[in-house]
Every structure is written in C-alpha cells, then in structure tokens.
C-alpha cells in the first residue's frame, strides 16, 4: 500500500516537474526592452560627421567662424546613403549640430545655421535631405545633437537649456522616424560664446535636463534608442577605437564609471547594450591629410569581431569631404569591409547538422535542434537547475573551420559566464587555439581560432547565471585575410617593417609608388635618415594573397634633432617612432626645445600622446614657437577620448629652433608626457 502511494506521489511530482519545465525559463533580470533587442539586431550602422569643422579642417570648432564658411560644392545625400547601404550598414546618424554650434538645418533657435551659408543660397536643409534619402533607400535615420555649444552666447545659462530643448523638438518633429538619438558627453569648457571667448563650466548631469529630453524623445519616437546623457538606453563602450571588452555584459550598474563601460557588469542592475563607435580614418571630421590613412581592410574586419562579435553594436563613421560627398577611398574601403565579413561568415557549416545536448529542458519547445535552425525566436534551453551543459555537433565528414558564432536568447536576460570550444579529430578531443576569451556571450559572440579540420564540434557551457537559453550556433571557414605590415623608424633612423601574419613576406617601395610582389623584398631593418614615404604590403604565397598597403610618411630624421631642454638621455623616446615609450616634461613650465641640424622651412608639427594606459597627462592646449616666434597655438581637440597622433599645420616659416609648450593638460593634470614629436617640413 505504502509502495503504491510512493509511486503515485513520484508520478504526480514528475508530472508537475514536466509541466513546470514546459514553461519558458524564468527571465534573469535585468532584461532588455523589445526596442533594445531590435536595436541590437541592427548590429552595424553609420555615423556622418559633416559641418563647419569640415571647412575649417578642425575636429572641434571654437564656434567663431562665420556661417558663410559652410559651402559644399556638390552635396549629395543619396551618394552617402548608397555607400552606407552597399556597406551593409542599417542606418545613419547625422551630426545635426556639433560642439561648434553650427546647425545643419534652418533652425528658428539661432542664426548660426545653413540658412546663413552660401549653400543653396541659404535655402538648404541637410537634415531633411538626408532623412529623405534614408527613407528612399530604406535606411534608418538618427540624430546627433551636441549639448555643448561653443557658439551660443547663452551657453551656461537657463536660456540655452530652452534653446537646446527647442532644437530637439524641431529635429524630432520635422524629419520622420528616428531610430537613435545621440547626446555627446564632451564639455570642453572654453568657447566663443557670442564673442566673450571664455571658459564656461556646467554640471552636465543636471544642466541639460536629460529626463525632460527623454520624455520628448519617447513621446515623439517611442522606439528610439537614446545614447548618452543621464537617462540612456544604450551605453558608450568607453573608447573611440571601436572595440568592446573581451568580457562584455549588457547589464551594468546605473552609477558605473567609464572604466566599466567596455565590460558591463555581471551583477549590473540595468540593461544597457554597448555601442562601439569608430571613424573610418583617424579623425571624425574630414582632413585631406588623412586621405592615405583610411583604416585597412584587416583592421576594420578585426573591429567587427571586437564589436559585434563581442555582444556590442558597431557605429562606423564617414567624415564627408568638402565637396559634400564621401571620399572614394572611404567608400571603397567600407564596401570591401562588408564583402570581407560576408565572405568570412558565408556558409554555416552547422546548418541541419545532427546535434546532441547533454541536457534538454522538458517540452518540445526547447529542443536542441533550435540551436541550429534559422529561427531567431526558437532556442535550446536546459532545465532550471542545469547551468552547465554541452552541445555536440557531428559533421558527416571531416570539416575545416575557424569561426564559431554563439547567440543567447537575450529577451530572457544574459546568462553565460564561461564556456569552451573543442573539436574531435581522429577520435581525440582537443581545445581550439584562440586568443579570444571564452567568457560572456550575450546577443552574439564570434570566436576566431586557428583553422582546424574536425569530425565533431563541442561547446561546453561551464558556468551561467541560470538555465541556458541558446538560440543560435553557427560555424564557418573564413578565407585568409592578410594583415598589412607595420612600418616604424626609431631614434637611430633605422626602419623596421613587421608583417602582421606569420609566414607572410614584405615588399616595399621608397619612391611613393604602390608596392607589388615585384617591389623590393624586405629582409632586415635598414637605415633611412631622410625625409620620404615608405609603402609596404604583406604577401602570403600559400594563399597567393596580399594585404592592403601601409603608408608611412617620414619627415626629417631623428638624428637631425638636438634636444636643448630638457636635458636627459631619455628624450630619445620622443623620436623613436613608438608612442608607447613617452617622456615626461618638467613642470611648472612644461616645454620641449629642440634645434634642427640645419635651417628648414617648417610648416607644422606632430604630437603623439602617450599611447599607454595613462591618458591623464596629454597636452590639451599648446603653443609652438620657431626661433622664439609664436607660430601656432590652440587645442588638441578630443584628445582625452581619442588620443591619436595630432597633426598641426601652419604657414611655413624658416627656422632652426622649435619649442613646444604645454599650456594645459587634460583635466588640468600636473604631469605632461609626450609619446613622439616631429616637425613637418616643406
Ligand atoms: C566625441 C566628440 O567630441 C567627437 O568630436 C565625435 O563627435 C565623437 C563621436 O564623439 O565625444
């Protein structure tokens, strides 16, 4: 009798568990809103930086150049849109107003806009032109409106806040659906401000009234994602080079600081997916001098894996040129990049392959076959208590692969903390060889590893915050992509060229011609103690493939400089072609004084900030003297968030003695460092 009762109880319990497990796994908080999920699925979209800065050759205009300077000769938003589309990007965000305050639409709030420019006799509206071009092409449209306004006389007062909100209202009511609204965090302080030319500081957390801004945006565009400000839907990834942390949680704590942005937080209390922004060239705005510095195909492809492949989105910027069109070098590269990714991830080797799971949640809805069907909304799940399990894919014949993509079903939260990938080869299981961390997954994780031929593929989910919910696993064989070489010249004027891949050969030219495999073969470092341009390619004979060319313009040799002040043998760090080795200047009057071996026509200089992790000691405002005459002064705009080599040009002057003086460092830091320094000569 007792036995019967026990059997009955077990049966009831079994039924209960079965029914219970038929239910979807419980969400693990925080979870994304449906709009945040839809945004993440866009994966890649474009930025356009265009405005007065373009015509002033600046990154951050001061707000003092007349609106009449804005004069694109051949503006064509359809050309931008066709480049964006051909690059596989799903939308465009336009800098409707950058920090200089110049508005690309005929706003009622200020005279500082296209309406006072010669473009279309002041009758043009670029926000309208681009939003309509996007509609025609089926692309999404987004707005960047800089809160900081270096032109407005009212900046810093309550009046400006009203102007700022009125600008937002105009942009949100007149230009159709907005998918993303971008508030920039930069607040540099000094500006023109109606001619007062002074420093104005505000508390960005309260001054701009971001809750009110959020209400307006969501009232008019409920599904728009807000970037920046105090009430955002998505988060900046913490750098401007387009790369997320190896571990990247979408959850993060509300009060997180910038250092946590690349990684998020396993126990974060809000869901804020990461967005990786990067320009296709060093600067955000167009500068002719960067025409040969468009990022290489290999670099951009790498960034795709470091952003989308690490649970973030990728925002790729096009600095529109003075004509009003995207430069051909940028458009060609962006389309090549899209094709390269398509070819790397073309054929899913796991499609319809037999797969077994070590655990399957009760109920047919969560079957393991959901992990490699083509339906995003179906997923494989484990029972509630099972947080580690394996998936094994059995190839029918030996299959060669070097990429694995895994996706979690994020509407139920991000769960996986640790996993590993193995392949079975001749009956033996071995781990794949990769430098990628196998920690978080989130919306999408793509691992790159050494090419292997396998009979089976196994994914071990080792630790998670709850039952596993995996909606997609794919594998690919990406063709080899040859990485361009790195060229550098040291303090002894010795040039070294390093290949990006083991096994590639390097060919180079010194006469500005394009290198081919007929050019000079690089075998060892060589002396190059003169001004000139070195171009080099890597070539892999195994695949008969070459990289894009690296181009390095070298000015007068390091041996032509004598450092007069400071006197230290370590000042050779300033000329060693390596921004990671830096020299610290002495305060309170931080300056570098050099003399050249002979008089030269000097037309500019370059300052490479320390490329190491210490970014607090960069010069933000400088003066440059030639033979004791002040020839240039100004700011290194955006150096804090984007510490790239700064190139300053001026009208050429003859001289021999050059002094670079730091007037101010970022955050008023007392330390001053220089990674590299060089003059630019005629
Ligand atoms: C930064 C700005 O200061 C840059 O100029 C650029 O617009 C970039 C996207 O954001 O914070």
Portions of the chain given CATH number 2.60.40: 486-554
Domain 354-476 sits in CATH at 2.60.120.260
Ligand 1: distance of its center to the CA of 637 in Å?
A: 9
DSSP labels for 198-245? EE----HHHHT-HHHHHHHHHHH-TTPEEESSSS-SEEE-S-SSS---
Residue 184 CB less than 6 A away from ligand 1: yes
**Distance between Cα 456 and ligand 1 center (Å):** 46
Residue nearest to atom 10 of ligand 1 (CA): 184
Q: CA separation (Å) from 10 to 5, 21, 384, 385, 473?
A: 9, 16, 19, 19, 36
Q: In angstroms, what is the span from residue 272 Cα to ligand 1's centroid?
A: 20
Q: What span, in angstroms and rounded, lies between the C-alpha atoms of 48 and 320?
A: 7
**Structure confidence by residue, pLDDT tens digits, 374-425:** 899 999 999 999 999 999 999 999 999 999 999 999 999 999 999 999 999 9
The whole-angstrom separation of Cα 45 and Cα 565 is: 48
Give the model's pLDDT for residue 614. 67
Does residue 641 line the site of ligand 1, with CB under 6 A? yes
CATH number of 44-344: 3.20.20.80
List of the chain residues with pLDDT < 50:
1-19, 21
53 pocket-lining for ligand 1 (C-beta < 6 Å): no
How far apart are the C-alpha atoms of 507 and 485, rounded to whole Å?
Answer: 9
Q: How far apart are CA 3 and CA 18, in angstroms?
A: 22
Alpha carbons within 13 angstroms on the beta-carbon side of residue 263 total 12
Q: How far is the CA of 184 from the centre of ligand 1 (A)?
A: 6
* Residue from 275, 638, 666 whose mutation best tests the ligand 1 pocket (most atoms within 8 A of CB): 638
> Is the CB–ligand 1 distance for residue 284 below 6 Å?
yes
CATH 3.20.20.80: which residues of the chain?
Answer: 44-344
CATH code assigned to 486-554: 2.60.40
Q: Looking at the CA of residue 184, tell me the nearest atom of ligand 1.
A: 11
**How many whole angstroms separate alpha carbon 610 and alpha carbon 584?**
10
**638 in contact with ligand 1, CB cutoff 6 A:** yes
Is 560-681 CATH 3.40.50.2000? no
Answer yes or no: are the C-beta atoms of 624 and 660 closer than 8 Å. yes
- Residues forming CATH 2.60.120.260 domain(s) in the chain: 354-476, 560-681
Instruction: Tell whether ligand 1 has an atom less than 6 A from the beta carbon of residue 555.
Output: no
What local confidence, expressed as pLDDT, does residue 17 receive? 44
Residue 120 falls in which region: left (phi positive, over 0), alpha (psi -120 to 50) or beta: left
CA distance 156 to 188: 12
Our answer on whether the CB atom of 100 is closer than 6 Å to any ligand 1 atom is no
What is the pairing mode between strands 561-565 and 583-585? unpaired
Spacing, Cα 210 to ligand 1 middle (Å)? 19
Q: What's the CA-to-centroid distance between 638 and ligand 1, angstroms? A: 7
* Whole-number Å distance between alpha carbons of 361 and 17: 11
Q: Where do the DSSP E strands lie in 569-638?
A: 583-585, 591-608, 619-626, 629-635
> Across the chain, how many H-helices and E-strands are there?
10, 35
Using the mean position of ligand 1's atoms as its centre, give its distance from the Cα of residue 128 in Å: 22
Which atom of ligand 1 is the closest one to the Cα of 146? 7
Q: State if residue 59 touches ligand 1 by the CB under 6 angstroms criterion.
A: yes
Tell which residue, 525, 341, 529, has the closest CA to residue 444: 341
What pLDDT score does 176 carry?
87
Q: In testing the pocket of ligand 1, which one of 277, 284, 315 has its CB within 8 Å of the most ligand atoms?
A: 284
CA of 46 to the centre of ligand 1 (A): 14
Query: Is residue 241 lining ligand 1, measured as CB closer than 6 Å?
Result: no
Q: DSSP letters along 431-488, please?
A: E---SS--S--TT-EEEEEEEEEEEEEEEEEEEESSS-EEEEEEEE-PPP-PPPPEEE
Residues 6+ apart with CB under 8 A from 382: 357, 359, 360, 361, 389, 467, 468
């Amino acid at each position: 009798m007792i036995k019967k009762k026990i059997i009955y109880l077990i049966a009831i319990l079994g039924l209960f568990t079965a029914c219970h497990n038929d239910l979807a796994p419980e969400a693990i908080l925080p979870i994304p809103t449906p709009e945040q999920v839809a945004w993440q699925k866009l994966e890649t979209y474009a930025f356009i930086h265009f405005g007065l800065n373009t015509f002033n050759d600046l990154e951050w205009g001061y707000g003092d150049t007349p609106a009449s300077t804005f004069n694109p000769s051949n503006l064509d938003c359809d050309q931008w849109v066709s480049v964006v589309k051909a690059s596989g990007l799903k939308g465009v965000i336009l800098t409707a107003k950058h920090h200089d305050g110049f508005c690309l639409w005929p706003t009622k709030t200020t005279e500082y806009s296209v309406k006072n420019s010669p473009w279309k006799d002041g009758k043009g509206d670029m926000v309208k032109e681009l939003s309509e071009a996007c509609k025609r092409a089926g692309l999404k449209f987004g707005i960047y409106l800089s809160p900081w306004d270096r032109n407005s006389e009212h900046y810093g007062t309550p009046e400006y806040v009203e102007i700022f909100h009125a600008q937002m209202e105009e942009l949100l009511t007149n230009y159709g659906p907005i998918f993303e609204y971008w508030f920039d965090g930069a607040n540099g302080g000094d500006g023109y401000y109606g001619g007062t030319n002074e420093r104005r500081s505000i508390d960005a957390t309260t001054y701009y009234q971001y809750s009110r801004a959020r209400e307006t945006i969501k009232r008019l565009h409920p599904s728009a994602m807000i970037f920046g400000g105090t009430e955002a839907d998505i988060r900046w990834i913490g750098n401007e080079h387009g790369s997320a942390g190896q571990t990247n949680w979408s959850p993060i704590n509300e009060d997180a600081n910038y250092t946590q942005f690349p990684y998020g937080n396993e126990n974060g209390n809000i869901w804020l997916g990461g967005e990786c922004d990067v320009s296709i060239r060093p600067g955000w705005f167009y500068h002719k001098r960067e025409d040969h510095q468009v990022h290489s195909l290999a670099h951009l492809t790498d960034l795709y894996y470091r952003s989308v492949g690490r649970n973030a989105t990728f925002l790729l910027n096009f600095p529109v040129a003075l004509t009003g069109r995207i430069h051909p070098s940028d458009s060609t590269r962006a389309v090549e990049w899209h094709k390269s990714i398509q070819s790397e991830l073309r054929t899913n080797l796991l499609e319809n392959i037999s797969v077994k799971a070590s655990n399957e949640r009760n109920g047919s809805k969560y079957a393991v076959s959901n992990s490699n069907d083509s339906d995003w909304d179906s997923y494989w799940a484990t029972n509630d208590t099972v947080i580690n399990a394996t998936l094994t894919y059995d190839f029918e014949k030996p299959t060669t692969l070097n990429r694995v993509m895994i996706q979690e079903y994020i509407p139920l939260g991000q769960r996986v903390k640790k996993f590993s990938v193995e392949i079975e080869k001749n009956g033996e299981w071995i781990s794949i060889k990769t430098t990628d961390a196998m920690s978080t997954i989130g919306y999408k994780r793509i691992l790159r590893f050494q090419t292997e031929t396998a009979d089976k593929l196994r994914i071990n989910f080792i630790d998670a915050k709850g039952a596993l919910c995996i909606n997609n696993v794919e594998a690919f064989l990406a063709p080899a992509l040859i990485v361009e070489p790195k060229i550098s010249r040291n303090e002894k004027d010795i040039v070294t060229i390093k290949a990006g891949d083991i096994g590639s050969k390097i060919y180079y030219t010194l006469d500005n011609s394009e290198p081919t495999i007929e050019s000079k073969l690089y075998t060892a470092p060589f002396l190059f103690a003169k001004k000139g341009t070195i171009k080099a390619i890597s070539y892999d004979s195994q695949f008969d493939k070459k990289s894009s060319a690296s181009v390095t313009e070298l000015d007068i040799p390091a041996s032509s400089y004598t450092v007069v002040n400071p006197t230290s043998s370590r000042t050779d760090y300033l000329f060693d072609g390596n921004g990671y080795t830096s020299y610290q200047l002495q305060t309170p009057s931080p300056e570098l004084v050099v003399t050249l071996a002979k008089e030269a026509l000097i037309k500019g200089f370059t300052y490479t900030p320390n490329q190491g992790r210490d970014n607090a000691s960069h010069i933000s405002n400088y003066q440059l003297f030639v033979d004791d005459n002040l020839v240039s002064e100004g700011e290194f705009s955006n150096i804090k968030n984007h510490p790239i080599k700064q190139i300053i040009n001026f009208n050429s002057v003859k001289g021999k003695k050059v002094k670079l003086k730091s007037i101010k460092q970022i955050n008023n830091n007392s330390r001053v460092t220089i990674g590299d320094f060089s003059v630019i000569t005629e």
